[in-house]
Structures are given as C-alpha cells and as structure tokens.
Amino acid sequence: MPRPALDLGKFGNVVRAASLLDGQAQRAGEQVAQWVPEELAGRIVELCGGRASSALTMAMGLVYRVQRQGEPAAWVSAGDATFFPPDAALGGIDLEALPVVRVRDAHQAARAADKLARSGAFGLVVLDLGEGASVPTPLMRRLQKWAEAHDTALLCLTHRPAEAPSLSSLVSLRGVAGRERTGEDRFSCRIEVTRDKRRGAGWSFEEVCCGPPGLR
C-alpha cells in the first residue's frame, strides 16, 4: 500500500488538506472537513474501492492517527480481505497494539465488530468486508448504537464501485477511494465523499504517498 511521501515510512502526513468541491464556498470560520478520527468518531463510515484503490492506505492512515493519539484501534477482516503487515509496519503502525480478527464473511465480521465496539475500548474499528458484502440492518443498528455511545469510528471497507448502492442507509459518511500515479514512486490517494449526513456531500481529501517497492 502507498505510504505518505514527506514523512518517510509514516502514515498520516497530509500533503494537501480537504477541499470543498462543486463550487461550494467555505464560510468564514467553518472548519474544513478532513479524513481524520475526529471527523469520523461516533459514526459508521463506508469507504468504497477495490484492491487497486487507496482504501487500505486511507484506512491505515486512520489507524496510525488513532494510535498516535493513544487510543486503541482494531481490524476485522472477512474472507480473503486483509492487509500486508510488513507494509503496515513500515508505515508506522504498531502491529503489537493492533488486534486483528479474521472471520469467514461480512456477517461474522459485523458480529465481531459488535463485540469490539460494545466494549467501548476502541477509538477505531475497521471492518474490511471484501467482495459482495452485506450486513443485516438490525446488526448495523447495533453498530450505530455503540459507535454513538462510545464515540467510536466504525470504518467499513467495501469493494464496490462508486455507482453501487451503499452498504446501508445507516452509513453516516460514504467515500470513494481512488489513486493515481504522480511520479516514479508517488501516488495521489484521494477520497471523494458522496454522502455526509453532518456536512453534506461534495468534499474530498487527498494525500500524496510513496508506494511500497512492489508498486514502484
């Protein structure tokens, strides 16, 4: 997975901050939306994009920031969905402080996330749901309840195209992850927000990252 360019080996170095799109003027004093734990706390967030997108990089960037803030994060993988631990460690992730749960499918992943979020011990729980994921609405409601009760960010990674339906109507923020090579070893990793129940859709977030040796 690509890692940020200017802070070699570390996630979370923002090269370009979030910007509002579609001609929406930022009002004076209004805080600019960013892809940071504070923005996502207490919400169910869906990040769409397959293995060739920047979804894993952006998710790991959040894990990095949460760990830097001294809060625990957890990772739940369904099926074959997973990350490459050496890349995560190279990016500054403390793997010893990152519980990883591997289960068979999205339903089991959501049930595992339910237990993790219910504990109130985590600032961030990532659900890497893989291909064709679906989660029953009652289970999504429980996840929403725990996210709001404990100010936990629940990030669901789905391998869906942008035009596909959302994982759930309970998703508070939905983004589409993409990446573009901008240099020999650099990639522009971008999230286009298509749903935001707090701020409204239409903003984006971008980071320039160095790719791992396999992508250079």
Q: How confident is the model at residue 83 (pLDDT cuts 50, 70, 90)?
A: confident
Query: Is a pLDDT exceeding 50 seen at residue 103?
Result: yes
Query: Is a pLDDT exceeding 90 seen at residue 145?
Result: yes
Residue pLDDT, tens place only, 55-73: 998 999 999 999 999 999 9
Name the more confident of 125 and 130: 125
Q: Which residue has the tokens 């990772």?
A: 75
Contact present, 191 and 204 (Cβ < 8 Å): yes
Please tell me the predicted confidence (pLDDT) of residue 191.
Answer: 94
Please tell me the predicted confidence (pLDDT) of residue 26.
Answer: 46
**Which CATH number does the domain 36-171 belong to among 1.10.10.10, 3.40.190.10, 3.40.50.300, 3.40.50.2300?**
3.40.50.300
φ, ψ for residue 177 (rounded to 5)?
Answer: -95, 140
Strand partners, 14: none
Q: Where do the domains of the chain lie?
A: 36-171
What would the DSSP string read from start to end of 153-184? EEEEEE---TTSPPS-TT-SEEEEEEEEE-SS
Mean pLDDT value of segment 13-30: 43
pTM of the model: 0.85
Mean pLDDT score of the chain, rounded to an integer?
84
Mean pLDDT value of segment 174-180: 92
Contact present, 45 and 173 (Cβ < 8 Å): yes
Residue pLDDT, tens place only, 158-172: 988 888 899 999 999
Please tell me the predicted confidence (pLDDT) of residue 185.
Answer: 75
- Which residues have CB under 8 Å from 57's CB, separation 6+? 1, 2, 3, 11, 179, 189, 207, 209
Q: How far apart are CA 85 and CA 76, in angstroms?
A: 14
Query: Is a pLDDT exceeding 90 seen at residue 136?
Result: yes
Name the least confident of 57-71, 134-148, 177-191.
177-191
Query: Is a pLDDT exceeding 60 seen at residue 216?
Result: no
Q: Which residue has the tokens 């729980």?
A: 125
Query: Among residues of the chain, what percentage have pLDDT more than 90?
Result: 55
